[in-house]
Structure 1
């Protein structure tokens, strides 16, 4: 890579990690909000789900704005908006402020993926390598972001922690303002810059895109998104109900010390689950290269049905079974990502690949965010076991849609 490419990869990688750090720190904060504010899981699920929904809904207009104003400008606005939202969150004294802050975060974060991927595609010639680094940075944010949040909560109040999480965004903004890179360095290699997306072109391309195969792929994405948000949003709180005091297994802190009272083992199990998910992404990618992605999706979705049904009964058996079933959940949940990405590529035309991935984020993150509200309501009505049994319907439907798409593709 040349200097221009390295600058772009560093900027987009850092920004990608920050987006997912904010995204997956929220479930850890949810545990604290349930204790600090007079709110039910159903209500908080609606609030968090709304923020996550905006994260997905803004992906399509974000791509159009990136074409009009430039990717660097949009990513800078994204970083500033996310930082400002979490700064506002640190002053929350009730649910209204939390709702507004998470909504602002969702709007700001929504423009990142279309802008970041667009910037790499137009400025880096070695795109495959750049996309790989970009994905690795996102994985780092997924795993390390919640870990950093949990560690900071050992020492600081949650409001201070949310302010500290703004610091990386400020650093990324500072780097972007001082670094010099050409956003269109790789465009000439491909024979010129593509025409900007107009409303008429957007409508025409969307109509051409929505074939039977693509619609089925969107249904698969919807089931993935609903199950992803439904399980992860309240998972730290759910895990806390099954974990014994850590002092029963190992002495990390003096009994009765401030650190001992603040240590939440569930948050670290949640982080471990997300970290194992990185391995799931790798295996899922390898599988998608060896067999039909739709078959891989059917197998992974089917496995998730079993894990979801067995999760609570297994968790009740003790710590070792809980660790095993949590690891399986994290591994399988993230193994879906490369499989559905390969499926989208297979059932969308190359000329509309960017638009197809815009719809991908809209459906998976936008519509899928309703899973948080569904899980919050279920937890308040039927507790954890009933919630996981109900959520198992999503991967079951996902497996069905995958088999239908495979059959349709063969025909």
Structure 2
């Protein structure tokens, strides 16, 4: 397949992979609590199993991609997550909703170890491609709140699952057709010819252990911050601005959309500057803006949220760049899978944490906890050794 066309499909897949799991977050905050007679804190834990499998499913997905076919795993992703979303629309109880979200999580777990490995393959400088791909994921987060709120007001919450699910299946049909028409083995030959960002010979075993220790520790805690902010933001805006359902969707959309530039900035910087310095600056920003968020309200809450989400999104490409530089193509999907198992398994605790802090103390304590998590990440990143940009 043409590399640019494949990159376009991968970007669309990342958009979908972040949009569909978050439809429930907005629907729960804006309508399902009233429709099912439950509080926000009672309802959102039903999404926890989906987040757990979203992480745990990454390892078998990565193993199958390395041993079988990354392209065919992406076909399964498109058809599986699309069909699961449409099935979730039939939920009429919290339990059936949890089952539908679980299916979305199973197929959604395919994307990160498989799609990101395909973005990296054949490239020596991976920061900007990963950042561009990451922006599409962020836009999926942004559009989840916007599309869901708009569809709730026009067609009901079930349409928010059916419409993107159907479009995802159509995208899967197009991707499968392109694969069948492409020259077999073109991607693999291209990688053999170009090479990839390979591990430098200077990386000792001790250095690799330190790199992966920092990657897994920072990705676990960073995943908690990412999942917490993306899931809770619609409720934060609803409480601190007291606006309509549609306005909540628009505010969340623009916050996420504007903050997406963070990945492009960081992706550009890590290809040209030492990763450690960029990483420390990003995490310091997370701590600062989390603390500022504690007392913000009204339009200031929106401005601070943009800044906070910008540095949260900015961390995303850094860990993937590090893995791309030290992992060879033969086991890169499994390395990414291990990273995302850690990320999403730990981030599954975000929903119980949101429910607990919101019920007990409110969102002020929530942001205080996130600031503390950012301080912990800063400490781990201090142990990161120097990782040079390698050429193919």
Q: Is the structural similarity TM-score above 0.5?
A: yes
Distance in structure 2 (CA, Å) of the matches to 1:323 and 1:275: 13
Contact 2:207 2:385 in 1 (8 A): no
Task: After TM superposition, give the deviation of residue 380 of structure 1 in Å.
Answer: 1.8
Q: Indicate how the Cα distance of structure 1 residues 275 and 30 shifts in structure 2: closer, same or farther if over 3 A, else same.
A: same
Match of 2:334 among 349, 355, 364: 355
Which of residues 5, 21, 24 is equivalent to 1:23?
21
| 2:223 aligned residue (222, 225, 235) | 225
CA RMSD of aligned residues (A): 3.2
Q: For the Cα contact (< 8 Å) 2:14–2:137, is it kept in 1?
A: yes
Give 1:398's aligned residue: 377
Q: Corresponding residue for 2:199?
A: none
**Structure 1 residue 27, shift from structure 2 partner:** 2.2
Gaps of 5+ in 2: 196-204
Question: Counterparts of 1:276 and 1:284 in 2: how far apart (Å)?
Answer: 14
The offset of 1:349, in angstroms, is: 6.5
CA contact (8 A) 1:80 1:170 kept: yes
Matched, 1:186 2:168: no
State how 1:34-49 maps to structure 2 within 5 Å. 34-49=33-48
Change in Cα spacing, 1:375 to 1:139, as seen in structure 2 (3 Å) is closer
Larger mean CA deviation between 375-384 and 340-349 belongs to 340-349
- Per the alignment, residue 374 of structure 1 pairs with 353
Inter-partner Cα distance in structure 2 for 1:367 and 1:83:
25
Look up the match of 2:114.
115
Aligned-partner Cα distance in 1 for 2:79–2:21: 15
8 Å contact 1:295–1:406 — kept in the other structure?
A: no
1:286 to 255, 258, 268: 268
Distance in 1 of aligned mates of 2:296 and 2:22: 25
The aligned residue for residue 253 of structure 1 is none
Q: How does 1:88-127 map to 2 (within 5 A)?
A: 88-119=87-118
**Cα displacement string for residues 193-248 of structure 1 (whole angstroms, at most 9, x for unaligned residues):** x9xxxxxxxxxxxx999713311221111110011112221220121011144xxx
Match of 1:269 among 237, 251, 254: 251
| Cα distance per residue 1:302-353 (max 9 Å; x no partner) | 22222222213122xx32x122111111211111112333344456567654
Say whether the 8 Å CA contact 1:41–1:379 is kept in structure 2: no
- Alpha-carbon displacement from aligned partner over 1:126-172 (angstroms, at most 9, x marks no partner): 99697676445434434344433332223111012211121211211
Match of 1:71? 70
What TM-score, normalized by structure 2, do the two folds share? 0.84
In 2, Cα distance between equivalents of 1:334 and 1:125: 22
Question: Is 2:235 the partner of 1:237?
Answer: yes
Whether contact under 8 Å (2:223, 2:344) holds in the other structure is yes
> What is residue 386 of structure 1 aligned with on the other side?
365
Cα separation, partners in 2 of 1:266 and 1:338, compared to 1, 3 Å: same
SS at match of 1:14: helix
Q: CA deviation at 1:369?
A: 2.4
1:11 to 9, 12, 21: 9
Q: How many residues are treated as equivalent by the alignment?
A: 374
**Contact 1:86–1:166 (8 Å) recurs in 2:** yes
Provide the residue aligned with 1:250 in structure 2.
none
Which secondary structure does the structure 2 equivalent of 1:157 belong to?
coil
Say whether residues 1:296 and 2:278 are aligned partners.
Answer: yes
Q: Are 2:301 and 1:322 aligned?
A: yes
| TM-aligned CA distance change 1:45 to 1:64, over 3 Å | same
Displacement, 1:370?
Answer: 1.7
Which structure 1 residue ranges, 5 or more long, are not aligned? 195-206, 246-261
- The whole-number CA distance in structure 1 between the counterparts of 2:136 and 2:173 is 19
TM-score calculated relative to the size of structure 1: 0.80
The structure with more radius of gyration: 1
